[in-house]
Amino acid sequence: MGKMRGSEAIIQCLLEEGVKTIFGFPGGAVIDLYDDLMDSEVNHILVRHEQGAVHAADGFARVTGNVGVALLTSGPGATNGVTAIATAYMDSIPMVILTGQVPTALIGNDAFQEVDIVGITRPCTKHNYLVSKAEDLVPTIREAFHIAQTGRPGPVLIDLPKDIVASIVDFTEKKPIRMQNYQPTYEPHMGQIEKACKQILKAKQPVLYVGGGVILSNASKELTELAQKLNIPVTMTLMGLGAYPGSDKLSMGMLGMHGSYTANMAVAKSDVLIAVGSRFDDRVTGRVDAFAPHAKIIHIDIDPTSISKNVTVDIPIVADCKHSLTAMNSWLDNSGENLGEVCDSHNPWIETVDEWTKKHPMTYIDEGEVIKPQYVIEKLDELTHGDAIITTEVGQNQMWAAQFYKFNKPRRLITSGGLGTMGYGLPAAIGAKMAFPEATVIDVAGDGSIQMNIQELATAKQYNCNVIVCILNNNYLGMVRQWQELFYDKRYAATVMEVTPDFCALAEAYGAVGIRATKTSEVEGVIKEALEKVKESTVILDFRIAREEGVFPMVPAGKATTEMLLV
């Protein structure tokens, strides 16, 4: 309490919010803050590129559920962070990004390393601030943390002019934050809960369609209870994987463009679709008018703008997923209905679902010693008992990881869903490992996307943050190549990686271990070796996979989700 430098006050605010680790990169505009950070209890991780700082803080936030914090300097430092801020925004990740700014007197003068980062990030943050008066500093930081982690979470950016950070401010006592204009609805409307439950009880072919909102609101337990109470099959979006145990018999895996045959068929044939914390994204729905055409749709989401945005909803519930599912479970328990009978009545539907899985399981064609990427993921799953934290890059590697790793717990798949940011996986893995040093953290990567933030290997080395980078190397930008193969007469424009570094040599250059596998029979041994060596060092696995392997099933863009191309 009392008077202190702005920089000290910022650090006090971080400690007050329970922030112990932040990720950043220094510069002239934030040098005061770095000076005070040096002696503080806040642990600062120096990355090698600002995008890496924000992705790492994002990975940290996704595995812990806490607000991730990144610190960047003004100008290019801030703009380098923009892609990663947009990544967090699209996936509703709670974050606070602190950026330095030139002194207030110079703002607008095209000063050295000046950029209007508040203007630039307006459309890709939940909210942002330029602190223009010293007395606003402390209340702004507190408000930013409040906004970042309440309602539908998201990144909040605070731009900090150098003179404000260096000025003397009053560190006032923290009071509960009440904002006239921002009051997210957590509690569901009980009338809507009743309507939804009654609709579900009438269903013969219900499906739970679950998204990242369930993970963000820590509602896996309540979701599992609902699914099992009424014997309802569950499908998850990419962001929702792990919300329901992937190995359970009611799980149909992922839906949508690269979803399972079962999940897409089940949604298409469902009579009641219960969407929980999902947003009817185009990668999920395919052609919108053919999405769940026979279903009454119930939609639970804390963000009113998500409701009836892409698909018209019959029973909207604007509330937190956890609160809503709890209310539904308790309504059902007290409804006087014989829930056992309801479960039994769904058995024919479950049988139909199982038939689909038998007919078209998630599979691939074995080609002997040619390494199949799906096999690599299956082995990773097996050898880590489905319990590793998997981060991904973006493209085929991401889809294979989503399809073939069985995520049994929430916050185990850390991936850029909405924005699809290549270069996300390695810094996110570092963030995850910083949060849980004991966990096995694996970045499933492609040879293309790993090169977008490969410099973070140095960060991993510096902090002994040992992760496994599992490169599914096909010397292509594989996902785009797959589209070119299918829809552009195999004209591989700009997707052949004619020069790719020797990833094993590169690993060594960064003080990591590099291991290569070129044959299927080597895969298991190599993964075992990696799981052993990662205790001491970061490991890069270079799997030379079948070059033109595709991701299937696949729903071509603009088609109905039942029009899948299968293996």
Partner 1 sequence: MKHTLSVLLQNKPGVLSRVTGLFSGRGFNIKSLSVAETLDPSLSCLTLVTTGSDPIVEQITKQLHKLIDVIKVTDISESEYVEREMALIRVKAENTTRAEVLRVIDIFRGKVVDVSPKSYAVEVTGSSSKIQAIIDILRPIGIKEIVRTGTIAMARAPK
* Footprint on this chain of partner 1 (rule: CB under 8 A): 118-119, 122-123, 126-127, 130, 147, 179-182, 303-305, 308-309, 312
Q: Which among 84, 90, 65, 67 is positioned nearest to 25, based on CA atoms?
A: 84
Sequential DSSP letters for 259-273: --HHHHHHHHH-SEE
Euclidean distance between CA atoms 281 and 314, whole angstroms:
18
CB 277 within 8 A of CB 239: no
Q: Minimum distance between the CB of residue 191 and partner 1, rounded to whole angstroms? A: 20
Give least dist CB 122 to partner 1, A: 5
If phi > 0 it is left, if psi is from -120 to 50 it is alpha, else beta; for residue 249 that is: alpha
Cβ-based nearer residue to partner 1, 2 or 123: 123
Angstrom CA distances, 93 to 213, 423, 528, stand at 10, 17, 33
In angstroms, the CA 232 to CA 203 distance is 10
Between CA 200 and CA 207 the distance in angstroms is: 10
- Compare residues 119 and 361 and give the one whose CB is closer to partner 1: 119
Task: Specify the 3-state DSSP secondary structure of 489.
Answer: coil
| Pick 18 or 123: Cβ nearer partner 1 | 123
Report CA torsion sign: 96, 299, 308, 350. Answer: positive
Cβ atoms of 558 and 253 within 8 Å: the answer is no
Tell me whether residue 180 or residue 334 sits nearer to partner 1 (CB atom): 180
Which positions are catalytic?
Answer: 50, 112-113, 162, 479
Q: How far apart are CA 293 and CA 38, in angstroms?
A: 59
Q: Rounded to the nearest whole angstrom, what is the least distance from the CB of residue 305 to partner 1 in the complex?
A: 4
Cβ-based nearer residue to partner 1, 158 or 380: 158
Are 420 and 406 in contact, with CB atoms under 8 Å apart? no
Minimum CB distance to partner 1, residue 302 (Å): 11
Cis status, amide bond into 103, omega within 30 of 0: no
**Is 107 within 8 Å of 114 (Cβ atoms)?**
yes
> CB 314 → partner 1: shortest distance, Å?
14
Pair 203, 227: CB distance under 8 Å: no
CB of 187 to partner 1, least distance (A): 18
Closest approach, Cβ 424 to partner 1, in A, equals: 23
Question: Rounded distance, CA 160 to CA 34, Å?
Answer: 13
State the Cα–Cα distance between residues 253 and 131, nearest whole angstrom: 45
DSSP at 496: B
Q: Which is nearer to partner 1, 300 or 413 (CB)?
A: 300
